[in-house]
Amino acid sequence: MSENWTALLYLVAAVCFIFALKGLSSPSTARVGNLVGAAGALVAVLVVFAAERPDRLVWILVAIAVGGAIGTLAARRVAMTAMPQMVALFNGVGGAAGALVALLELAEGTSGDLAHLAVTAFTVLIGSITFSGSVLTFGKLQELVTGRPILFPGMRWVALATVAGTLAAGVWVAVDGEVLGAVLLAVLTLALGLLLVLPVGGADVPIVISLLNAFSGITVAASGYVLSNTLLIVAGTLVGASGTLLTKMMADAMGRSLVNILFGAFAGGSTLGSTTESDRPVRSAGPQDVAILLGYARKVIVAPGYGLAVAQAQHAMRDLTDELEKRGIEVTFAIHPVAGRMPGHMNVLLAEADVPYDKLKEMTEINPEFRTTDVALVVGANDVVNPAAHSAPGSPIYGMPILEVAHADAVVFLKRSMRPGFAGIENELLYDAKTTLLFGDAKESLSKLVAAVKAL
């Protein structure tokens, strides 16, 4: 294939990536955007085969087939609650691939001038951090590792020594192009990735996943420079830029700075506190009583959270919505930016149950409506509706914008138990006189509510 055709098709693929990113910005266009991005990736891969005519083609095709089979199987079997873990693994694989490419290029002696060697060292550095950090975030979300911040005596000094060693190894690689220096750099930065994530806990973990997603994009862009591949630079820059913006938006939604999120545990600022259940008295009710409260309301706002995803209760939630709307009740959904375990988690979950997109309202849009709402139905959420964000300066979520469900005339919580949310702090709204709790699995509770509303 000629260089002109190669450049033209790379441009087509790059445009596909840009339109895909635009499509993914809205639930209504996300499916099309995903398909456009996949088409762009397919074009890029085919162009590489046609233009480069790689050696060991059979082994490459075998690797693609094995990876494709694993990816297809994982995509079909992964539960919606485990989607953040899969994203973390994808980030890690992307970082590892970039770091390995840079190491192989250095070993083959294809990197010569200072600028090229410096970028090679940077690719190894950021790729290794992404890999080890992503694996650890996967372990935290999968509960293979405690979700609490992990600190040990002298950790700050170990981290500082590792940073110093990383800088020294990076300079060694950039100046001399030594493979041994690159291997040392990889080992140090693998440790640095672990040290970056270990002190992070609670609701901060999803934000770190977003940051590592940005890192994976930067790794791809840097490896594109190492390989002199413009398309990799474009694709990596898109992922890196969007991941960085998303991280900033999530940090703002938490009401905290990224520095505080990453290093706050050293000063006791993590969002993970106690996991002990409270024994304070609350007002609870059965499905029939809650159904009466909902069935004779004029306006209901649902605030979904991770508990909805854990129970796989999105279809039961849609059934309840349909029954309430049959009675002429206005039902909308309040979506907090960090509800669930990743941005858009609730949007995707409810879209899976065919809840219309126009019923999903972002926090800034829905908050003024709570004052005219008869019932706020909180399903599996806690931290994103916790008034401690406004009233408790010592709270780890203090300053975080929340869904203002406390302004509704009545509040109903669907909870499995009195265990605190992911941030590990009590929610005083649970003990408010206008709050009613319906205990049980969210799916079972919603199914009982549907039956009870039908019987009214």
Q: Are 227 and 9 in contact (CB under 8 A)?
A: no
Average pLDDT over residues 220-228: 87
Edge-to-edge strands of the sheet including 330-335?
360-362, 330-335, 299-304, 375-379, 410-415, 435-439
User: What percent of the chain has pLDDT above 70?
Assistant: 91
Nearest to 165 by CA among 144, 187, 150: 187
Phi, psi (degrees; rounded to nearest 5) at 299? -140, 130
Tell which CATH classification among 3.40.50.20, 3.40.50.1220, 3.40.50.150, 3.60.70.12 matches the domain 287-454: 3.40.50.1220
When pLDDT is cut at 50, 70 and 90, the band that residue 4 belongs to is confident
Residue 246 is predicted with a pLDDT of: 84
pLDDT of 272 higher than 80: no
User: Over the Cα atoms of the chain, what is R_g?
Assistant: 25
pLDDT for the residue 262: 72
Confidence class for position 319, pLDDT limits 50, 70, 90: very high
What band does 151 get if pLDDT is binned at 50, 70 and 90? confident
Query: What was the pLDDT predicted at 299?
Result: 95
* 276 — pLDDT class (breaks 50, 70, 90): low
216 pLDDT higher than 80: yes
| pLDDT given at position 201 | 72
**383 given a catalytic annotation:** yes
User: What is the pLDDT averaged over residues 154-183?
Assistant: 90
Per-residue pLDDT, 421: 64
Active-site residue, from 358, 383, 432, 441: 383
Q: What is the pLDDT of residue 29?
A: 83
Q: What is the pLDDT of residue 142?
A: 82
pLDDT score at 279 = 62
Residues 240-263: tens digit of each pLDDT: 998 888 888 877 777 667 777 776
State residue 86's pLDDT score. 85
- Of the pLDDT bands very low, low, confident and very high (cuts 50, 70, 90), residue 84 is confident
- Name the pLDDT band for 189 (thresholds 50, 70, 90): very high
Name the band, by pLDDT with cuts 50, 70 and 90, for residue 146.
confident
Domain boundaries defined on the chain: 78-267, 287-454
Distance from C-alpha of 420 to C-alpha of 395, rounded to nearest angstrom: 13
360-390 burial by CB neighbour count: b if 16+ within 10 A, else e? bbebeebbebbeebbbbbbbbbbbbbbbbbb
Average pLDDT over residues 187-215: 86
Higher pLDDT, 312 or 320: 320
Q: What is the pLDDT of residue 165?
A: 94
* Beta carbons within 8 Å of 289's beta carbon, 6+ residues apart: 436
Does residue 115 have a pLDDT over 90?
no
Which of these ranges, 88-92, 142-146, 356-360, 416-420, has the smallest mean pLDDT? 416-420
